[in-house]
């Protein structure tokens, strides 16, 4: 199956003719104009700007915006459109059931937990996965709990699948406010480092993330709350894992780093995998193909953040490394559960507009400096 049953979907199916247009439903009011112009409710409120006693990394270099997580951020309850204030009460959040979040690779693990957590907070969530039956099976229990969740099949490594998904989102939903790029693969065991499947890993983890992000950028809704992209990444892709000095210089040069240079780096790695010289060229030593894919995602995030800022777009883009998490990818090993990761990941995605950074890498709960990206 490639989509949720229409009777259980929070969206009404678009008619075959005339050409599809955004449709309104009780749970989602798609705009009739450019979706990026649609407002989000509750962008101003008593929670905005509230500061926790737990200030994260207060001595950040000027290259980073000062990041102070709001007090409400640390105690966000699972109830729609509300968050705890300093006195233990509640105040209105910036989001509502009309706020649409797309979560990729969400049929299990971190992706599924993030999708569930966002839906518990009262958003409408589009849960995606490559496998139609597994994706629908993952979405159904959430809908049974009364959550606004719809499944849509999506393979981020397939351009045709990405194009079809973007068209469906535009014509049936009308736009989105949050994108969580979680879909990723790895073929290594915990203690192995094979690059046999490097091309598949890069096509999914980096090129797939970039392909989907670029396809959905025109569909983000402009609002005072700022739309958000959260890329689930890894500290394996931090610059301190790179042993090649020229490669480090390339990635550290904020003024000249471009998407083209990032893709050239990835192509160079894949070429060296094919000719057998990758091990002697200073790439990360642990899960090398996966690490390079996340190195590229981290770099792309910084470049995209700069591009969006310079263009005046109200879209933030950040990376989040959940750390060693107990999922199928780690064969059940790890320091924390997918649910614990999802709790913090959802909080990052729902930061109040006044506290929302861009171009930032969160290593678990701590924002990192560019020199370590």
d(CA 295, CA 237) in angstroms, rounded, equals: 4
d(CA 308, CA 227) in angstroms, rounded, equals: 11
Q: Is 290 a catalytic residue?
A: yes
Answer whether CATH 3.40.50.720 is correct for domain 26-372: yes
Q: In angstroms, how far is CA 120 from the centroid of its own chain? A: 18
* Per-residue pLDDT of the chain in tens (373 residues, 90 and over written 9): 334 444 355 654 444 333 333 323 323 333 333 444 443 333 333 223 222 222 222 222 223 233 344 333 332 333 334 443 333 334 468 999 999 999 999 999 889 999 999 999 999 999 999 999 999 999 999 999 999 999 999 999 999 999 999 999 999 999 999 999 999 998 877 678 899 999 999 999 999 999 999 999 999 998 889 999 999 998 776 777 888 999 999 999 988 999 999 999 999 999 999 999 999 999 999 889 999 999 999 999 999 999 999 999 999 999 998 865 545 554 454 566 767 878 888 999 999 998 999 999 887 555 544 434 4
Query: Domain residue spans in the chain?
Result: 26-372
Please tell me which residue in 207, 290, 300, 370 is annotated as part of the active site. Answer: 290
> What element of type H or E holds 367?
strand 366-367
Residue closest to 2 by CA, chosen among 164, 125, 148, 141:
164
Residue ranges with strand state E in 9-123: 82-84, 90-92, 100-103
Tell me the pairing of strands 90-92 and 82-84. Answer: antiparallel
Provide the 3-class DSSP secondary structure of residue 337: strand
């Amino acid at each position: 199956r490639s989509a949720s049953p229409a009777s259980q979907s929070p969206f009404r199916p678009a008619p075959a003719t005339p050409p599809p247009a955004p449709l309104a439903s009780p749970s989602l009011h798609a705009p009739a104009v450019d979706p990026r112009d649609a407002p989000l409710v509750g962008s101003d409120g008593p929670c905005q700007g509230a500061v926790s006693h737990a200030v994260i990394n207060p001595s950040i270099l000027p290259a980073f915006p000062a990041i102070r997580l709001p007090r409400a951020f640390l105690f966000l309850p699972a109830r729609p459109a509300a968050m705890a204030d300093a006195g233990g009460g509640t105040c209105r959040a910036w989001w509502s059931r009309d706020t649409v979040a797309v979560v990729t690779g969400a049929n299990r693990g971190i992706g599924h937990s993030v999708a569930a957590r966002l839906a518990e907070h009262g958003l409408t969530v589009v849960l995606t996965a490559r496998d139609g039956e597994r994706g629908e099976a993952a979405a159904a229990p959430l809908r049974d709990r009364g959550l606004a969740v719809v499944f849509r099949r999506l393979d981020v490594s397939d351009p045709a699948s990405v194009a079809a998904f973007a068209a469906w989102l535009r014509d049936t939903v009308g736009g989105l406010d949050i994108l969580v790029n979680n879909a990723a693969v790895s073929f290594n065991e915990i203690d192995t480092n094979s690059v046999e499947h490097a091309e598949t890993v890069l096509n999914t983890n980096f090129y797939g993330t970039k392909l989907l992000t670029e396809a959905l950028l025109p569909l983000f809704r402009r609002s005072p709350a700022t739309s958000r992209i959260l890329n689930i990444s890894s500290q394996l892709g931090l610059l301190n894992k790179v042993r090649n000095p020229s490669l480090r210089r390339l990635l550290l040069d904020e003024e000249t780093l471009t998407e083209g240079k990032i893709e050239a780096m990835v192509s160079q790695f894949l070429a060296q995998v094919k000719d057998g010289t990758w091990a002697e060229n200073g790439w990360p030593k642990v899960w090398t193909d996966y690490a390079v894919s996340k190195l590229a995602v981290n770099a792309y995030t910084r470049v995209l953040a700069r591009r969006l800022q310079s263009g005046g777009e109200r879209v933030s883009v950040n990376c989040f490394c959940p750390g060693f998490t107990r999922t199928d990818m780690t064969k059940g090993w790890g320091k924390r559960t997918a649910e614990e990761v999802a709790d913090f990941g959802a909080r990052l995605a729902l930061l109040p507009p006044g506290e929302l950074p861009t171009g930032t890498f969160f290593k678990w709960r701590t924002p990192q400096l560019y020199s370590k990206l």
